[in-house]
Amino acid sequence: MDPRRPARFLPAFGLALAIASGSGLLRASADQLIADFEGSNHGGWTATGTAFGDAPAKGMLPEQAPVGGFRGNGFVSSFHGGDKATGTLTSPEFELSLRYLSFLIGGGEEVGKTCVDVLVDGQVVRSATGREEESLTTATFDLGEFAGKKARIRIVDAATGGWGHINADHFVLSDTAATPPYVQDPGPVDDYSEALRPQFHFTAKKGWLNDPNGLVFFGGEYHLFFQHNPQGREWGNMTWGHAVSDEMVRWTQLDHALLPDTLGTMFSGSAVVDRDDTAGFKTGAAPALVAIYTAAGGTSDASKGRPFTQCIAFSNDKGRTWTKYAGNPVLKNVGEGDRDPKVFWHAPTQRWVMPLYVGEKDPAKLGKDGKPAIRHVCHFYTSPDLKAWTLASKFPEELYECPGFVALPLDGDPGQLRWILWGANGEHWIGVFDGREFKPSTPKLKGDLGANAYAAQAYDDLPDKRVVLLNWMNGGKYPRMPFNQQMGFPVELSLQSTPEGPRLVKWPVKEIGHLFKSVLRDDLKRPMPAGRHDLKARSDLLDIELEFVPGEAKSVALELRGERLTWDAAANELTAFGRKIPLAPAKKTVGRRSDFARPWGPDFDLWDGSVRLRVLLDRTSAEIFGNGGIVAASYCFVPKAPPSVALVVEGGDLPKARVTVRELKTSWRP
């Protein structure tokens, strides 16, 4: 699936849920139909304005695009008179005798303007919009707190522009939810409290985001620039969004940094502190920040016909405002779709180095059109001043976009520096680099084993010498949210020797401690008996650390919000969100250990032959670190069940197990 086009919320989900619960269909007789709009008028509903006409629609109205998804032959639509017509349609009063109100909705998504409202005591207590799709899909309100009260439904069209209409049908009260209850917060979008808004993963206030860009630390701030569509929830209009943080966990979004221009929209790239003022951009006492980005020519009307080129921009006010260099582009088009420059200072050769993703024609392979196929590789350019770039080498293996390239000491030994080159899907090589050419000493290795990590970039110039990686968690779904997509949680990278060769280790940065709210669970059991242990952790924001010696147990599962992360003893494998991750009991020297004090002492020793799992659970994502981060897997999900955590041990007792569950605070408020 194209990660730019995450599948929309599927109406079929509601049906699946009803069947899975084994009750939705059987109990249909208990449902109470409020309105079905099958007649020749609106029944007892009261209309204001003109938009709803005199009667239900039987299909698309004049000039309307085709409408599907309604029940029976009729539904209501406010497209009588087109988008510019307005009005309301309000139901007679009815009693909330059952907990859930389900209905079908389509049309515009303007909060408060194209919506279905529920009113109790004259106040709007729930509101849902369409999703800029004519076809109707199921939505459900949980009205449990108003049980027994009188309510009205009001269908509103107060919008006059594009998508200024609403479609609705089939209002039913029921004691089962047809879909997960509707969650849009009609409040301000910078409130960050919406039900599907990650609480400790970065999201844009509003609109689409993808790759992290320009990760740089300067003047006490971590900068996070990001691929952003300020105008919509889908990919497009690529702009560099900008956020800053003191500690990489609580972010403040600032004004956009780089806006599209006639050379193109602003694709991915990097940022550096030009400490020696090699580019001559510095105007004050402090060094200038320089961003190196791809101008994606041809992706906008303003840049029609232009190729992709590499450009630079600078800032002398801590990244608050940016000036594009008058001599742009600094690297003209060299191949096909060249992009994603990741520049860093290579001290031994006193040069800037730029790994760049380049599409090269492959004469050995023909594409469907009979022309040479394109292979994507990484070119290394060098420069003394960020302006003049010279090709130094070409890494011949194919790799995904967004090359990343950092140096790490093997087993913490600064005398054994190794370089890691990766592509956007996380596949990587480990080897050596002389300032011009990268020579791998490993085969291609897999990166994140989950479903949702992509286009990672690293902070590689931190004062404390850590190298910290940030993913885009691509492909997550956020139905009806003002934002779309989230970043991963920052992880510290290290390199560890294993019998198979050097391996990359990922571990959440210790700054996560800023978000610790309470310890919900801290158990050390010898043994932990087989069975289901409810850990009584009813929070949607958790940091869970589990270690167990498997003994005779056949499987050990962490059950989170109804999802099972199951470790299988026979296969030495963890299955999470439908994917399998190799994970065998390991020596205590493998991977990282907890950064935090636990009741049995801050420097407790790990057990040999144990399986270790750490899970960062946010409202709509889970990041799993196996055996101290020697494997990592990132997932996005739409929660199916309320917060809960259980440990399910099957086939035998665990000789030893310990589990710590910490509740986290939201990162969006102090």
Contacts with ligand FRU, residue ranges (CB under 6 A):
210-211, 227, 238, 267-268, 294, 339-340, 401-402, 424, 455
Q: How many CB atoms lie within 10 A of CB 595?
A: 14
Q: ω into residue 92 within 30 of 0, thus cis?
A: no
Cβ closest to ligand FRU, residue 211 vs residue 460: 211
Name residue 9's amino acid.
Answer: F
Cβ closest to ligand FRU, residue 238 vs residue 408: 238
Residue 65 tokens read as 């695009």
β-sheet bridge partners, residue 661:
521, 544
Residue 127 tokens read as 């509101």
Task: Name which of 56, 76, 54 is nearest 156 in CA terms.
Answer: 76
**Distance of closest approach, residue 339 Cβ to ligand FRU, in angstroms:** 5
The 10 Å CB-count burial string (b at 16+, else e) for 370-400 is eeeebbbbbbbbbbebbbebeebbebeeebb
Cβ closest to ligand FRU, residue 135 vs residue 294: 294
Which position among 211, 340, 461, 543 bears the catalytic label? 211
Q: How many CB atoms lie within 10 A of CB 68?
A: 12
Cβ closest to ligand FRU, residue 85 vs residue 473: 473
Cβ closest to ligand FRU, residue 78 vs residue 299: 299
∠ Cα 189 194 199 (to 5°) = 105
Cβ neighbours of residue 22 closer than 8 Å, sequence gap 6 or more: none
Contact 329, 266 (CB under 8 A): no
**Distance of closest approach, residue 264 Cβ to ligand FRU, in angstroms:** 11
Cα end-to-end distance, the chain, whole Å: 38
Contact 238, 266 (CB under 8 A): yes
Task: Name which of 292, 474, 303, 500 is nearest 382 in CA terms.
Answer: 292
Q: How many CB atoms lie within 10 A of CB 577?
A: 17
The DSSP secondary-structure symbol of 652 reads S
**Distance of closest approach, residue 15 Cβ to ligand FRU, in angstroms:** 33
Residue 616 and residue 622: Cα distance in Å, rounded? 6
**Distance of closest approach, residue 600 Cβ to ligand FRU, in angstroms:** 43
Residue 608 CA to chain centroid, in angstroms? 35
**Distance of closest approach, residue 266 Cβ to ligand FRU, in angstroms:** 9
**Distance of closest approach, residue 83 Cβ to ligand FRU, in angstroms:** 31
- Is 448 an active-site residue? no
Task: Name which of 265, 250, 254, 268 is nearest 211 in CA terms.
Answer: 268
Cβ closest to ligand FRU, residue 194 vs residue 401: 401
Contact 402, 211 (CB under 8 A): yes
The DSSP secondary-structure symbol of 592 reads -
Cβ closest to ligand FRU, residue 31 vs residue 397: 397
Largest CA distance in the chain: 83
**Distance of closest approach, residue 629 Cβ to ligand FRU, in angstroms:** 24
Cβ closest to ligand FRU, residue 135 vs residue 227: 227
The DSSP secondary-structure symbol of 57 reads B
**Distance of closest approach, residue 636 Cβ to ligand FRU, in angstroms:** 15
Catalytic residue positions, numbered = 211
